[in-house]
Every structure is written in structure tokens, then in C-alpha cells.
Chain A
Amino acid sequence: MIDYAIYFAFTCFGAAILMCLWRIITADGVGTRVLALDTMVINTIALMILYGLDQGTEIFFEAAMIIAMLGFVSTVAYARFMLRGNIIE
């Protein structure tokens, strides 16, 4: 039962990631693209945890955690670049 649920979740997040990619490539403004990247990162985290759950392994945890912790830094950097040009002022 859990397996099917996991596969279902796989499919959902997989689709989600593809949609994010689609957005990144087709969006009209960098703002939306950054947003899509951010969302993609979040979906990726979910996928990694899922996969760890599926395989019963822990090796995905650190990566997922680091992504969750640092992922936003680059997003903020992009946004600051758009807002101020200089990201460290």
C-alpha cells in the first residue's frame, strides 16, 4: 500500500518538477523563473525524502537538509540582484 502511495507521490512531484522546468524556460520574467527554480528545489527535496523512504536509506537526508538550508540563499541573491544590482552592500 505504502509503495503505491510512494509511486503516486513520485509521479506527482515528478510532474511538478517538470512543470517548474517548463515555467523556468517559458516564463516572461526572471522573477517568475526564480520562483519556479525555488519551487523546483522544494519539490526536489520532497522527492529525495520520498526516495529515501522508498529505499529505506538515510543517505539523502543531509543533502536534502543542506538544500533546504542553502537553497534560499541563491534565490535571495537573484532577487537582490534584480532589486539592487549589488547583492552584498
Chain B
Amino acid sequence: MSLFLIAALPFLGAVFPALLIRAGRNAAASAAGLTTFLALMGLLIHIPAVMRGEIVTARFDWIPGLGLNANFMLDGLGFLFALLILGIGLLIILYARFYLSREDPMGQFYTYLLLFQGAMVGIVLSDNILLLLIFWELTSLSSFLLIGYWKHLPEGRQGARMALAVTGGGGLAMIAGMLILGNIVGSYDLSVILQNKELIQASPYYLPALILILLGCFTKSAQFPFHFWLPHAMAAPTPVSAYLHSATMVKAGLFLMARMWPVLSGTDAWFYIVATTGLVTMLLGAVIAAFKDDLKALLAFSTVSHLGLITMLLGFGTKFAAVAAVFHIINHATFKAALFMTAGIVDHETGTRDIKRLGGLRHLMPVTFTIGTIAALSMAGLPPLNGFLSKEMMLEETVHTTWLHLHYLVPGLALVAALFSAAYSFRFVGHVFLGPERNDYPAHPHDPPVGLWIAPAFLVVLVILIGLNSAAIVGPLVAVVSSAVIGGEKLPYYSLKLWHGFTPALFMSVVATLGGLFLLGLHKHCERFWNTLPRPEAKVIFEALINHFTQLSRWITDELHNGVLSRYAIIFVAFTVGLGYYAYTTGTIGVETRIPLPAQFIPIIGWICLVGATLGIMWFHRNRLLSLVLIGVVGLIVSVAFNYLSAPDLALTQISVEVVTMILLLLSLNFLPTETPWDSSAARRWRDAAISVVAGIGSGALIYAIMLRDFAFPTISDFHLANSYKGGGGTNVVNVILVDFRGFDTFGEIIVLGIAALIIFALTEAVLGTNVRGYLLNRKPHWPQSGDSHPLMMVVATRVMMPIALMVGAYIFFRGHNQPGGGFIAGLIVAIAFLMQYMASGYTWAIERQRFYYHGTIGWGVLIAAATGLGAWFNERPFLTSDFGYINWPPLEEFEWATAMLFDTGVFLAVLGAVMLALDSLSRFAWRPGMAQEFPMDINPLRDDPPEQDEEKEQA
């Protein structure tokens, strides 16, 4: 079966349980089991090849650009782990089917489990380290889900988050390490990397790469000081603990160290980091385990200890040690999984995992007792069980190991560790099964159904068989795996026999065993002593750390984004000015090439007014109405200045925009406070003033420098001047640019205006829909109102002014193409004309006589403009291509037509509609019932006492 399929099957399988769970728990379980079984079979098919030492591969180019390819390979090492993962996985699936209770969502469980399984298989089969990284992080994620499976248990959630943080974090470090490794070698393919030991170990980046990768491994394999997450992961359902935290995931780190062994090991750095860490972990795990009362906690720390053992062996860097490591991996997997299941059974049957509440179960649960005992003794390292063999090899190797020229350090500590490991193994048997039977078990214990104990039983059988005749059963496997680990080099001499004669290792074993028994005897006293020792609770520290970091980042975030716009703006301005200055000073400024124009009398007057008004605004800005008046002055001066500087179109636009803006602001000011209170300190104001002045100097200096220099290249507007009449049919170049050369800008511009009006309308609707409406109806005016809100004179004047204003608007519109003016200005003028009417006779009176609807006007404006543009498509021209010509109707003189005028009509309508809709919406805020008046003016003597001849006129 293709490796792709083997790796993919679990993922495919992950889909079924979720779907099939409706079909019942058995369906889900069997679906999961079946896919796993298939994958396992697919793996076993490759046995012959693997045993021949061949490497099965499958390659697929996924992201060649990155060097991340779906390349898989299967060698001895990969085979062993895949076997463990799939084999034990199968057992776990079976076990979990009976273990999980009715309330637990089993579909989810199997989905997560298979996801995890797939990820693990992916890790061990990857021939591409980037691909391996993907699976690596996937295991972190899926284990996060599995540990947190029992969502209702706080420990579950914490454990899950801790595991994710530690292992995921380690994974991130490993990403860096792998990338470095890949860059040293120039390829991310393992098979290539494994060929480049010299290159890698010679590289200056070897050490960082090593450390980063080991971080990944140590966190994953719960090596000191990252061992603390594993016990808390035990909050997961026992099948998960058995699977992830003894058999597979925690071995991923070991796998990777073994995988990388050929290229990374053999250096001092490797030895001192890996071996030391392993040694410490082994010792620490063993000691802690000996004093744990929770069965699963005991097993967890024993697992930590054994992982340390294997790590240490790999760390030694000798081939023999590597073989021992491989052998122990196999053995540990068998007895530890069995033990976990036993613990699960005990928990399941007695309702407790607390050793203090157990004991004397051997008669009640003989089967479980047998299984548990054998497995435990194997863990203790007693012959003739498989645990004994690999422990012997370990001890043997330690004897030949010197640590900083200390000959007795490593073996000594290893012996202590072995002693403690014997102790807790015996305790597992003695305090759970042996001893007097009790009558206070939470439940009535008895052996479980066969479905629960068959899996561990099978494993225990393995334990025994391997112990008795390892050479026959696992010999070839060990050989092929070991040679894979040591990089296909010649295997060292080793024998998997039980009896090697009286070696130091044998004496050490004996000492360890007896010492273990002795310790168990003194357990009470030791425990009392142990409890007096200060023990840092890793979980508490970790949680506190995370919480403090969370608090810190909350503080940073809220301090940084404290919602004070003025501070945001200051940072913005300061940053801009700073960078602008930097850019300026790092460049070179050319000489002035233009003679400034003389400053005449009138401009100086205007300048004084402008400056005076501006400073006035800064000074009086608290008086909002006054600052509006002053803004009016500024606007006036600016528009006149435009006119003075040969920009009549701008002047016209500025003036009309001015008026509308003013009305807009006054309309809103009617509802806002008319005074701005003092709410910033003098110091603040000075700081603001300073930064503002700097920015002002910046902008002024910039434009001054520009104005005194010529364009570095001829400007494109020469073309516009030259072609405005020929090509655009207009003599007002500005207008031709607006409606023709750059008509697309104008198109966007009217859309902006239209959107603005829409927003204002929408907001009005939204706000008036809320309780604001009531507030508006009851609010008092800022100050007493005068009588006569629609004075007679104003009304009459408007009656004359409005038609004239419309006339002027039309005039400005029609001449726009050739003279200053155009659709935009015309639109504003016409809008203001209607506005006059609003102000004179009131909103309601005027709106009743309104003959056009604003939304429609805007829409038509944009559509007409667009249609003008699209028209060009029909004679194979691009969007917005204009055309013009001349009409000659005697006796009239000829006059021009231009599609640009049509476009300008669109502009006109859009502007008119937008302005009206905006002001109209704002006016609606002031609406209150009874405001609708039937007469255009409040006072009309003609109406009150009409002279006779006017009677009928009044009626009409």
C-alpha cells in the first residue's frame, strides 16, 4: 500500500465517526478501528522490504517553490513507530469503546483520536522536515482537543492549554531549527539532510539549530524542565493518556532525536545537552513517581522517567546506546500501555485511582491483578521480563560513560533512578492489589468484561515473550531499526540475552531491586519526609505566568490604545514630520530656479485677514459660533486668492462650497453645545501648539521650496493646454480636464458625494429610529427664540432671488466648458437657491412644493455620467471618450454640443441631489409636530385684512 494512503487513511477515517455517530457507538468505533486496521495492514505489507533494510518512499511535489513536498519514506525506525502508533492505536480504539460512558460524545472522540493518529503516522513517515513540522504541530493541536475532551473538567481545559502552549511553543522553536538545518544543507528533504553530517556539524549554525530542534523534542517528550505538562495532561480520558502520553506522542520527541541522530549526535554539545537532560529527567521522574498517590500520576511520572532514560541513551551518542534506546522504546511501549489500561480498569471498577484508597484487589480482580503485576515487574526491570533486558543495557552503557571526567556520576545517578523506578513499580503492585481486602471501595470491584482486559493482556503476553526470547521475536526488528538510527552504518556487537554473566549491570540491577523493596517498606517514613520537602508546583507557576502575561498584555494593549484620538493624532503628526524631515535631510536640495512674484498691496491685506482669522479661530475656538464666522472669513480669502492667482473655477467652487458647509455646520450646531469647555491643561495645549507649529513650518517650507523651483521635467499639463480645444472642444482647460482628460476622477468624485449623502440619510434614519427622536422633541433651544420665524421681507426677496439664482446656475453650467463654471458649481448654486427657499418659508412648506426626489437625482446623476461613458463603447472607444461638434441653425449663430456637457449634467444632478439630501436629512432632526405651516410667511397683512379687490386672489 502506498505510504500516501497509509498516512491519509487515519485522516479519512477521522471523517467517519463524526458522521456515523448517529448510526450508534459501535458504528463509530468500528469505522475508526477499520481504517486503523487497514492502515496497519498497509504498513505490514512493507515488512519484507523493511527487513531487507530497504527504504520505501513516495514523493509528491506540493510546494516546490518552498521546498515543502509531500515526500514520505519508510525505514526501520519509521516502521517501528508506525507499528506502535497503529498497533497500539487499534487496541486503544477497542479499549475506548468500552471505557467511554454513554454521555461522552464518542463520534468526536474517535475523530480527534484518528486526527492525532494520522498526525503521528505523518511524523514518522515524513521525508521532508517541513512536512514533518506540519504533522508535528498537528499532534499538538489534536492532543489539545483530546486532553480537553472532557470540557466540563477545569483540569482538562487547563491541562489542554498547558500542553498546547508547551508542545506547540516547542514546535515553533523547532520550525526555526529545521529551517536553519534546511538552509545549511540546501534542502528540506530528510534523505538529503541525513547525508550531510560533516556539512551540518561544521556549520556555525549547528548549535542554534541543535538547541532549537531539541527544544521541540524535549517539550514534546516532557523532558526536564518541560516535564510538568505531562501529568496534567492525564486529565484526559485514560485511553488518551495511554495512547498519547505513554505510547506515542511523547515518543515523537524521541523519534526525532533518533531520526536526527546520524547528523546531530556525536558532538559534545549533543552529549552534554541530551544526555544530561535525559539523566536528570529519568531521576526526577522516578523520584516523584514514587510518591504519587494517583495511579495515573504515578504512571505519568514513570513515563517521564523512562523517556528520560531513552533520551539519555540517545544522548550518549554511542551506537550501543542507540541500540539500547531502540530496544527500550519497544519494551516501554508494551508494558506502559498495559499499565495504563490496568489503571484505567481499576479506576473504572473501583471508582477511584487513589492508591491510598485501594489495596487487596488481587482476589476481587485476579485477571487485572495478573496483567498489572507482570507489566509492573517488567517496568521495575525484573527478569525474565523485557524491561529487565533494556534496563541492563542501559546500566551497562552508563558504566562506560564519563561526565566531565567523573566516572561514577552517571552510573551512580542511573542506579538511584533504577532504584526508585523499582520502588514505584512494586508500590503499584503492593498498594493496589496486595494487602488486606477493604470494604470501603467507592464501587464493588470485579474483573471487567473481556473487551476491556483483552488489549492489555495481549501486551503483557508480548512483555513476557520478548523477555524470554527477545532475539527471536524482536531481534531482527531491533537490528533493522538500530541500523536506521545510526544511519545505516555497521551495527555494534550486542546481545539480547537474559544472562550475560556477572556484569556490573547485573549487580546494579540487584541493588536497585532490593533497594526498591526496601524503599517500599519504608514508604510511610519516606513519604513523611518527602512531604516536608518544598515542591514547586509547576502547574501553579505556569498558570500564574500565563495569567500575569495576560494581565500585562491587557495593560499594554489598553494603555496603548486608550481611545484618546488626540494622542493618536499627535503620534501620527510627529511620526510624519519626523520621517519627512529624515527624507529631506538624506536627500540633496537643488538651487532655486524661479524668481518669486512681488507681493502686492491687496495680497498682503488678504494675508493679514487670513492670518488674523486663523489665529482668531485658534484663540476663540471655544465659542463655536464665532469660530464659524471666522472660518467664513478664511473661506472668503482663500477663494478670492484662488481667483487672484488665475483659478476662477476654484474661486467659484470654494465660495459655493463655503456657503453650503456653513449651513451644514450651523444645522448641526443647533443640536450640539455652543461652547467648548476647557478640558485640557495648559501644558497639554502648549505641547499641542508646539507640535502643530512644527508641522505648519514643515508644510509651509515644503511648498515654498517647490514653488521656487521649476518642474524637474516638462509637466503633462502642457498637453492638456495644447489639446483642450482641439481634442476636448472646450477652451476652459480646467473644465475639460475635469470632464474629459480626467473625467474618471470626476466620476469617482461625484460618487463620493453621492455616498456621503446616502450615509447622512442612512444615519438620520438610524438615529431617528431610536429614543433620540423623543429627546429631540423635548429638547429646549439654546436660548429664547424670537417671533416671526419666516419674515415677510425674506420671503419676498427669495421669490425674486431664487429664479435669478437658478438662471445664474444655468448660465454657469452652460458656459462651464469654455469659461469658468461647470456642472459642479452650477449644482451647488442651484442647491443654494432651493436652500434660500427652505430658509425663507420653512422646510415643510417648501418640501411640499418640491418636484424632484433626491435619491433619484443622485442616482440619475451617476447613471447619466456612467451612460455618457458607456456610450463610447458603442463606437469602439474606451469608457468616457468624449465627442463634440457644432450646430448651425440660422438665424442663430452656430453653437457647440459636446458629450462632455452630458457628463457634466450627470455631475450637476449628482451634486444637486447630494447637497439637498444631506441638508434635507439634517433638517429632519429639527422636525416637530405642528411645524408644518400652510402659509409661506408668518405675517401677511394682505391675508389678515385683504383690500377688497384682492379677495379672489387670496382664495386662489
Q: Is there direct touching of A and B in the complex, by C-beta distance under 8 Å?
A: yes
Residue of B nearest to A43 (CB): B605
B801 near A: Cβ within 8 Å?
Answer: yes
Known interface pairs A33-B629, A66-B652. Does A89 touch B789 (Cβ–Cβ under 8 Å)?
A: yes
User: Which residues 602-618 of B have a CB within 8 angstroms of A?
Assistant: 602, 605, 608-609, 612-613, 616
Do the beta carbons of B655 and A67 come within 8 Å of each other?
yes
A88 touches B655 (CB 8 A): no
Contact, CB under 8 Å: B666 / A59 = no
Write out the residue numbers on chain B whose beta carbons fall within 8 Å of the beta carbon of A53.
none
Which residues of B are found within 8 Å of A67, using beta-carbon distances?
A: 636, 655
Chain B residues near A78 (CB, 8 Å)?
A: 625, 628-629, 666
B836 part of interface (Cβ distance < 8 Å): yes
Q: Contact between A33 and B626 (Cβ–Cβ < 8 Å)? A: yes
Question: Is B839 a contact partner of A80 (Cβ separation < 8 A)?
Answer: yes
CA distance A37 to B636 in the complex (A): 10
Task: Kindly state whether residue B411 has any CB partner on chain A within 8 Å.
Answer: no
Q: Which of B80-88, B778-786, B869-877 contacts A (4 or more CB under 8 A)?
A: B778-786
Give the CA-CA distance A80 to B667 in the complex, in Å: 11
Contact of A30 among B613, B625, B801, B923 (CB under 8 A): B625
Contact-size category for A? 35 or more
Report whether B643 and A85 are in contact in the complex, using a CB–CB cutoff of 8 Å: no
Residues in A with CB closer than 8 Å to B639 are: 63
Distance between Cα atoms of A18 and B609 in the complex (Å): 7
Q: How far is the CB of B810 from chain A (nearest CB, A)?
A: 13
Please report the C-alpha to C-alpha distance between residue A63 and residue B836 in the assembled complex, in whole angstroms: 19
Q: For chain A residues 49-71, which have a beta carbon within 8 Å of chain B?
A: 51, 59-60, 62-63, 65-67, 69-70
B909 at the interface (CB under 8 A from A): no
How many chain B residues touch A (CB < 8 A): the figure is 61
Q: Which residues of B contact A65 (CB under 8 A)?
A: 808
Query: Of the 9-residue stretches B8-16, B564-572, B656-664, which lies at the interface with chain A?
Result: B656-664
Least distance between A88 CB and chain B CB atoms (Å): 5
Count CB-based A-B contacts (< 8 Å): 144
How far is A31 from B349 in the complex, measured between Cα atoms in Å?
A: 94
Whether B821 lies near A88 (C-beta < 8 A) is no
Complex contact B629–A40 (CB within 8 A) = no
Q: A63-B643, A89-B789 are in contact. Are A81 and B629 (CB under 8 A)?
A: no
Chain A: minimal CB distance from B926 (Å): 4
* Interface of B (DSSP majority class): helix
B36 CB to closest chain A CB (Å) equals 78
**Inside 8 A of B515's CB, which chain A residues have their CB?**
none
In whole angstroms, how far apart are the Cα atoms of A14 and B603 in the complex? Answer: 10
Given contacts A37-B629, A62-B648, A76-B794, whether A70 and B829 have CB atoms under 8 Å apart is: yes
**Are B669 and A73 interface neighbours, CB within 8 A?**
no
Bound CA span A78–B665, Å: 11
Q: Which residues of A contact B646 (CB under 8 A)?
A: 59
**Cα distance, A62 to B838, chains bound together (Å):** 25
A48 to B843, CA, bound (A): 35
Select B842's contact among A48, A76, A88, beta carbons within 8 Å: A88
Task: Tell whether, in the assembled complex, residue A83 and residue B785 are in contact, meaning their CB atoms are under 8 Å apart.
Answer: yes
Query: Does residue B835 face the partner (Cβ distance < 8 Å to A)?
Result: yes
Interface centre among A14, A37, A48, A69 (most CB of B within 10 A): A69
Within 8 A of A (CB), among B285-326: none
Give the residues in chain A near B644, CB-CB below 8 Å.
Answer: 51
Q: Known contacts being A70-B655, A84-B789, is A63 close to B612, with CB within 8 Å? A: no
Please give the residue numbers on chain B whose beta carbons come within 8 Å of chain A beta carbons, in ascending order: 601-602, 605, 608-609, 612-613, 616, 625-626, 628-630, 632-633, 636, 639-640, 643-644, 646, 648, 651-652, 655-656, 658-659, 662-663, 666-667, 669-670, 781-783, 785-786, 789, 794, 801, 804-805, 808, 812, 819-821, 829, 832, 835-836, 838-839, 842-843, 919, 923, 926, 931
Question: 20 A-B residue contacts at CB 8 Å?
Answer: A14-B605, A17-B605, A30-B629, A34-B629, A47-B602, A62-B648, A62-B821, A66-B652, A67-B636, A70-B829, A73-B835, A73-B836, A74-B659, A77-B666, A80-B839, A81-B666, A81-B669, A82-B625, A84-B786, A86-B926
Closest 3 CB pairs of A and B: A85-B781, A83-B786, A63-B651
